[in-house]
Amino acid sequence: MFEGVYPAIITPFLRNDSRDVDYDGLRRNIRYLLEKGVHGVVPCGSTGESATLTFDEHEKVIETTLDEVDGKVPVLAGTGSNNTAEAVTLTKAAKDLGADGVLVISPYYNKPNRSGLIKHYTKLADLDIPVVMYNVPGRTGQNLAVDVVVELAKHPNIVGIKEASQGFCGSGDAGIVQISRIIEETRDEDFRVISGDDGITFPILALGGAGVISVAANVLPAPMVAMYEQFRAGQFNRARDLHFTLSPLFRAMFIDTNPITVKKAMELKGLAGGPPRLPLDELDAEKTKKLEKVLASYD
């Protein structure tokens, strides 16, 4: 479980004053992803704008996702918060709804100390649902250090980590060096390291990683799946070629804050996107032209 290509799905919003969730659009997007062979989906992550969803919306997005997926692939629901009590509430709800596991971001803004991080993740794992930790210091302001990950990996319900520390300058070990160490030091555990950055998925697979929780797979799921499956089949050169083919898209997804760009890309492809919710605003005209040029290269 939790191996392969898992799109971090967007939460499409309607173009009305309230920016209501477009649940019909969410279903259409999920059907598109399933048709293209993705191995799982992740609702209510940072790409799903979880920080701006109400508790009721959060639960309904997960419930809608589970209903549309209908057991075809695993659903890894985002339930993180910088408030442990809120994370517990969201995690209990995801478990009750039938999610296969939860993706939990390291608490943002608070910058908890080591013991606080251990207690936070342990409290959630003790709810008896598989937990994948999420290390993204570019959003949290704090790297989840190797020794903390290795200790938490011993918990039977903490089954993996989504690693997106590449580019973080706060630690000499962040990024691919850190990822390599985590894989090295958890080889005796039933623990998976999953790429949280499309651009380093191929090297993470080469180190023994399990797959990717992907932004780009919302837009071009089939070649992302093909890259993973070619790698697993031992066709390393073909997988690497697909990595380089997809790299312009990987870069384009971050010409503005995620998920601003991916939502616009999905609209341009005729999928449900809609505007982001404030404080995020839509992609401007100049960046939209750059995005259109990249997307056209894949047509």
Catalytic one among 6, 23, 134, 228?
A: 134
Catalytic one among 95, 121, 162, 228?
A: 162
In whole angstroms, how far apart are CA 242 and each of 6, 14, 36, 248, 262? 17, 34, 16, 11, 20
In the predicted structure, residue 276 carries a pLDDT above the cut 70:
yes
pLDDT of res. 173:
60
Quick check: is 228 catalytic? no
Residue 166 banded pLDDT, cuts 50, 70, 90: confident
pLDDT tens readout for residues 278-289? 999 999 999 999
User: Domain coordinates of the chain in residue numbers?
Assistant: 4-296
Considering the chain, what percentage of its residues have pLDDT values greater than 90? 90
Closest CA to 96 of 62, 146, 145: 62
Domain 4-296 fold is TIM Barrel (3.20.20)
Compute the half-sphere exposure of residue 169: CA atoms within 13 Å on the CB side of its CA: 0
pLDDT tens readout for residues 198-249? 999 999 999 999 999 999 999 999 999 999 999 999 999 999 999 999 999 9
pLDDT tens readout for residues 176-211? 999 999 999 998 778 999 999 999 999 999 999 999
pLDDT of res. 168:
55
- What is the distance between the alpha carbons of residues 70 and 277, in angstroms, rounded to a whole number? 28
Quick check: is 162 catalytic? yes
